[in-house]
Structure formats: C-alpha cells, structure tokens
C-alpha cells in the first residue's frame, strides 16, 4: 500500500466518522469532531499493514475513533467560563459522541470490548485530572501520563483483537504528536494544563530535546521493525518528521 493510499484510507475513515457523528447544530457551533489523522492512522495501523479486518473489527475501530473524538472534545471546555452557546454545545457534543461510541460498541455486540474501552476512558479521565492535583510534576511522570491519555483506548482495542505488537508504534507516535503540540503551545505562550503543571523555566528547550530524542528512537524502532511493510514505515517516518520539523 503506497503512502497516498494510506492517506486516502485515513481520510476516508475520518469522513465516515464525521458522517456518523453529524449533527447540524453541532457542526455549526462546534465544528467537526476533533480527531487527528495520526490518531486514525495508528488506530488503523494493523489493517493498513495488511492484517485482516472484518465488519466487527472495523465497526469497533469506528467506535474507538468516536470515543477519541468525545474525549478530545471535552478538552476544549474552558476552565472558568463555558457560558457561550458554542461552549455549551461543546459539552453536549462530547456527550453525544460518547453515546454514539457506546451505541456502536453495542452494535458490535461484544460486551468484553465495552468493558475494556470503558476502563480505558475511566483511566484517561483520571490521568487528565491528576495534572490538576499537584502544583509541580516531573517530566518523566508527565510523559507517562500523556502516553496513557493519548493511547489507552487504542491499546485496549489492540489487546482485544490480538494486535498488541502494534502498541509500541501507537505509544511513540501519539506521544510525539502530543509533545509537538505542547511545544507549539509553549512557543506561543499558550498555557495548556501540561505546561502549567511544570511551573519551571526552560521548559521549551526540555520539550524540544525530549521530542528529538523520542523521534530518533522511534525512527529506529520503525526502520528496524520486521513487522511493518516499507510503505507503512515511510508513511510513519514522514509523520514523525512533520512533527519534529514544525
């Protein structure tokens, strides 16, 4: 599968999720559901790499994407003022997407999968909250928390369908994506909760350094992987470079 085809498949899957989550008013006030190309790419990685899929696995993957959209949407709520119509509807958009992921999992009919994913959501919510519980966190602890926040649902999905060998890619890839985003915020003095939790000087340099180290290690993991096909490797490497060079 060439890189363009991978991009097309990701775009097609994303469009399908947008269609299923479509709501006229939400689209007008909150925009499309928030789910990134990287999140979709890593979610679909086993299938993009040639693993067999069926109606159930694909439907389950759709549910995971909806779940990611739900949780990402609630991250957009302002800490102290959510009184505008768009913020009120953002709360409800996240709730609606939550209902939709559950309805989709119910359609799959696999109760154990529902349990796995809901456990992931509880864990993610806990990890997000922990950023508010201490005034100062250590970088390595924070990175671990971010990894959980970004990948827990996908990892549970992989475990359930015996695709665990792909977990390592999602862990590195989505952590790099998140760190690149935090670095951008740092550069523009935008206070995210992650940045506020450090409360120290020189964070931008530390983040840049961490991002570079992770990217180098990850490129090595990808290029030496006997599991991934070359076109998938190229696609991943290209995504890493986009994040590091931005």
Partner 1 sequence: MEKMKLKMLYADLKSDIDVIEKELEIAVGSSSHFLNEASLHLLKAGGKRIRPVFVLLAAKFGQYDIQNIKHVAVPLELIHMGSLVHDDVIDNSEMRRGRPTVKAQFNNRIAMYDGDFIFAKALEHMTYVQDVEAHHVLSKTMVEICIGEIIQIEDKRALDQNLRDYFRRIKRKTAILISSSCRLGAIAAGVDQRTAWHLERFGYYVGMSFQIIDDILDFTSTDQKLGKPAGSDLLQGNVTLPALYAKEEPQIRPLMQKAIDGSMTEVERKEMLRMMRKSEAIRRAQHVSDLYLNKALKEIEALPDHKAKKSLKDIALYMGKRKF
Q: How far is the CB of 172 from partner 1 (least distance, A)?
A: 25
Q: How far is the CB of 137 from partner 1 (least distance, A)?
A: 14
Asked if 205 touches partner 1 (CB under 8 A), the answer is no
How many angstroms separate the CA atoms of 226 and 91, rounded? 43
How many angstroms separate the CA atoms of 85 and 82, rounded? 8
Asked if 130 touches partner 1 (CB under 8 A), the answer is yes
Between residues 141 and 230, which has the closer beta carbon with respect to partner 1?
141
Residue 149 · residue 56 · CB < 8 Å: no
How many angstroms separate the CA atoms of 128 and 124, rounded? 6
Among 4, 5, 25, 238, the residue binding partner 1 under the rule CB under 8 A is 25
Among 8, 11, 15, 119, the residue binding partner 1 under the rule CB under 8 A is 119
Between residues 86 and 242, which has the closer beta carbon with respect to partner 1?
86
Closest CA to 128 of 88, 178, 187, 61: 178
How many angstroms separate the CA atoms of 138 and 197, rounded? 9
Maximal C-alpha separation, the chain:
52
Binding residues (CB under 8 A) for partner 1: these are 23, 25-26, 70-71, 74-75, 77-83, 85, 88-89, 91-92, 94-96, 98-100, 102-103, 105-107, 109, 111-112, 114-115, 118-119, 121-122, 124-126, 128-130, 132-133, 193
């Amino acid at each position: 599968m060439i890189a363009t085809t991978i991009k097309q498949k990701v775009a097609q899957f994303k469009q399908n999720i947008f269609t299923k989550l479509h709501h006229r008013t939400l689209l007008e006030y909150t925009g499309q559901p928030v789910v990134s190309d990287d999140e979709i790419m890593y979610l679909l990685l086993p299938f993009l790499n040639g693993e067999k899929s069926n109606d159930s696995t694909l439907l389950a993957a759709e549910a995971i994407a909806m779940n990611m959209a739900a949780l990402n949407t609630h991250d957009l709520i302002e800490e102290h003022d959510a009184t505008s119509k768009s913020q009120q509807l953002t709360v409800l958009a996240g709730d609606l997407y939550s209902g939709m992921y559950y309805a989709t999992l119910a359609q799959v009919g696999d109760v154990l999968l529902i349990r796995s994913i809901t456990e992931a959501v509880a864990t993610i919510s806990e990890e997000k909250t922990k950023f508010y519980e201490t005034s100062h966190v250590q970088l390595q602890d924070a990175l671990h928390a971010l990894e959980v926040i970004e990948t827990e649902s996908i990892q549970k999905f992989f475990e359930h369908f015996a695709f665990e060998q792909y977990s390592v890619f999602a862990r590195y890839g989505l952590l790099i994506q998140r760190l690149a985003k935090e670095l951008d915020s740092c550069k523009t003095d935008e206070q995210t909760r992650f940045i506020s939790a450090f409360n120290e000087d020189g964070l931008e340099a530390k983040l840049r350094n961490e991002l570079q180290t992770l990217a180098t290690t990850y490129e090595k993991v990808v290029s030496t992987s006997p599991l991934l096909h070359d076109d998938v490797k190229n696609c991943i490497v290209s995504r890493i470079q986009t994040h590091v060079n931005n």
